Copies of this chain bind each other. A is one copy, B any other.
Amino acid sequence: MSGQSDNGGSGGGGFRSHRDTAQVDMPMAPPRRPGAGVAPAAPSVPVPALTGPVPLPADGRSDASPLVRTVERHLDEILAAVPQPDAIELAVLDAQGLLCAEDVVSQRALPAFDQAALDGYAARADDVAAATVAQPVELAVVGESVAGASAPSSIGPGLALKVAAGAMLPSGADVVVPGVWTDQGTVRVAVQAGPPAGSYVRRTGDDVAPGDPAVHVGTPIGPAQISLLAAVGRDRVLVRPRPRVVVLSAGTELVDVSATPSPGQVVDVNSYALAAAARDAGADAYRWGILPGDPRRLTEVLESQLLRSDLLLISGTFASGGFDMVQEALAGLGGMRFRQVAMHPGPAQGFGRLGRDEVPVICVPGEPVAALVAFEVFVRPAIRLMLGKRQLFRRTVQAIAGQPLLSPLGYRQYLHGTVMRHPDGGYVVEPVGEATDALLARMARANCLIVIDEDVTEVAAGGLITVMPLLLGG
């Protein structure tokens, strides 16, 4: 049980309490076979051929490997190390979707002057109090005021000023009689009902008084906040910026999408897919593409990208035991650790802080399905943390499994699925396709990830299971 401290239930961190997921309580991973860290194996559970982590032969020994760590622990390491980019001032329209990084205090009153709340007649409440349809009160109309007219005016007893919504209230008036309560006269007006004093008048500062806080630190800036910021005279605002995420692919087998792959070669899909995912999570994402094969050039690229990034995201087939050229180049730039994480697909994960500025570098598996799963699990929460979002994790729902699901003991399994509303309420989920192998066409049909906890080996049809809908945006 040498791996207990690494895999145990105490391995969580400070971010656990924010997780709006059903898998907050991390069960202790079961013991594993010693030395099996590079390609970890889950004992004893029969899984269908072609799926998932490899079951050990039935009588295989099993002890925990110190090289395998839990999903929670790897995530906690990343979240604890992710920096908070400095706040920047942006034009309000560019601030949309970001979090306000200052307490905006209004220097102005809103409204800036007493004004009519609707079209009608500014009058004195006492004059019209007794008005009825049968016995209207007649007032002399002294003129008309529209929104934007700056000339102050005043009225005395028995007088009215025709006003449009937003027009300044003349001094002496304390009520606006709605036009539809009158005969809409222009020289004299017959008022058929008298509202109480103050009715249909917006007073100076009713909305915001000078010194009032308008938008607080941490408020997400949307159209309503932009409206308020402009109203108090702000065309710029301090915000938490979008983190700059540079996406790179590693692998000698990779060719760019524009090339025709030779036998054994595969198209670099990850730099596209991960850049899209990073942008969707709120980052400014830059797709660098395939890392060069020349070691000196490789290090140059990594160094220059570290200078312009808040986060480097690299996909590739890295082994925690192995040591390839990219791993070597990363190691030369700082402390980079590759580890096996008890998850499927894609247990091979890496994290480090490299370069002068200790920029976080997350390495995810090269297999495209595993790369996007790792993005969801580790990278999206990190980007949202850098954005200052309180809700780092996607919401999860409990859904009824439409068919039996198997999962290897000790691994958190993420299966792509389709989740639908059940006619009787709640949700039903089906995995896409028959097997759990990484297939792109299948993934593209999914609308959720099914999350099966480490200590669950089998979910019966009709059983409840945690589902993470993969909505775009938001």
Interface residues of A, Cβ cutoff 8 Å to B: 33, 36, 38-41, 49-50, 54, 56-60, 92-93, 96-97, 110-113, 117-120, 132-134, 146-152, 164-168, 178-181, 192-193, 195-196, 198-202, 206-208, 212, 214-215, 219-220, 222-231, 233-235, 251-254, 257-258, 260-270, 272-277, 279-280, 287, 317, 319, 366-368, 372, 375, 437, 439-444, 446, 470-474
Find out whether the CB atom of B148 lies under 8 angstroms from the CB atom of A264: yes
Chain B nearest CB from A47 CB (Å) reads 11
A368/B440 in contact, CB under 8 A: no
Q: Looking at the complex, which one of B39, B117, B233, B263 makes contact with A150 (CB distance below 8 Å)?
A: B263
- Min Cβ gap A243→B in Å is 17
| Pairs across A and B, CB under 8 Å, 21 listed | A50-B117, A57-B193, A58-B193, A93-B279, A93-B287, A96-B276, A97-B473, A112-B265, A147-B252, A147-B317, A148-B264, A149-B264, A150-B263, A165-B317, A207-B439, A219-B444, A220-B472, A223-B277, A223-B280, A224-B273, A473-B474
Most chain B beta-carbon contacts within 10 A, residue among A132, A225, A251, A269: A269
Determine which of B112, B150, B200, B440 lies in contact with A227 in the assembled complex, contact meaning CB atoms within 8 Å: B440
Known A-B contacts A222-B280, A437-B117, A440-B208; A33 and B317 likewise in contact (beta carbons under 8 Å) = no
Q: Known contacts A50-B200, A132-B57: does B150 contact A262 (CB below 8 Å)?
A: yes
- Given A150-B262, A179-B38, A233-B257, check contact A54 B207 (CB 8 Å): no
A441-B192 CB under 8 A given contacts A119-B38, A147-B253, A257-B234: no
Residues from chain B with Cβ under 8 Å of A150 in the complex:
262-265
B-side contacts of A192, CB under 8 Å: 57, 60
Q: Which residues in B have their C-beta under 8 angstroms from that of A287?
A: 93
**Contact between A208 and B132 (Cβ–Cβ < 8 Å)?**
no
- A54, A59, A279, most chain B CB atoms within 10 A: A54
On chain B, the residues within 8 Å of A179 by CB distance are 38-39
List the B side residues contacting A471 at CB < 8 Å: 474
**Min CB distance, A409 to chain B, in Å?**
15
A261: which B residues are within 8 A, CB to CB?
Answer: 112
Instruction: Provide the bound-state CA to CA distance between A272 and B92, in Å.
Output: 8
For A212, list chain B residues within 8 Å (CB): 441
Nearest CB in chain B to that of A214: its residue: B441
Q: Does A444 lie within 8 Å of B224, measured CB to CB?
A: yes
Q: Which residue of B lies closest to A180 (CB)?
A: B41
Determine whether the beta carbon of B93 is less than 8 Å from that of A275: yes
Contacts of A41 in B (CB 8 A): 178, 180-181
Q: Which residues of B contact A167 (CB under 8 A)?
A: 264
Please give, as numbers and ranges, the residues of chain B lying within 8 Å of A214 by CB-CB distance: 441, 444
B472 lies within 8 A of A368 (CB):
no
A226: contacting residue among B110, B260, B273, B474, CB under 8 A: B273
CB of A320, distance to nearest CB on chain B (Å): 12
Would you call B181 and A57 a contact (CB within 8 A)?
Answer: yes
- Looking at A112, A152, A264, the one whose CB has the most chain B CB atoms below 10 A away is A264
Contact at A446–B56, with CB atoms within 8 Å?
Answer: no
What CA separation (Å) do A151 and B264 show in the bound complex? Answer: 8
B222–A264 touching, CB < 8 Å: no
Of the candidates B33, B92, B168, which one forms a contact with A180 in the assembled complex, judged by CB atoms under 8 Å apart? B33
- CB A439 to nearest CB in B, in angstroms, measures 4
Contact pick for A207, options B166, B168, B442, CB 8 Å: B442
Q: A39-B120, A223-B277 are in contact. List 15 more A-B contacts (CB 8 A).
A: A36-B180, A39-B178, A50-B200, A58-B193, A110-B441, A146-B252, A147-B317, A150-B265, A167-B264, A168-B264, A224-B443, A225-B444, A227-B443, A227-B444, A231-B269
A276 touches B368 (CB 8 A): no
Closest residue of chain B to A191, judged by CB?
B57
Known: A50-B200, A231-B440, A444-B215. A226 touches B180 (CB 8 A): no
A200 to B268 CA separation, bound complex (whole angstroms): 22
A251 to B149, CA, bound (A): 11
Q: CA of A201 to CA of B437 in the docked complex: distance in angstroms?
A: 10
Chain B residues closer than 8 Å to A60, beta-carbon distance: 133, 181, 192
Query: In whole Å, how far is A441's beta carbon from the nearest beta carbon of chain B?
Result: 5
**Chain B residues in 8 Å Cβ range of A111:** 266
When the two chains form the complex, which single residue of B92, B234, B257 contacts A235, counting CB atoms closer than 8 Å? Answer: B257
Q: How far is the CA of A41 from the CA of B225 in the complex (A)?
A: 31
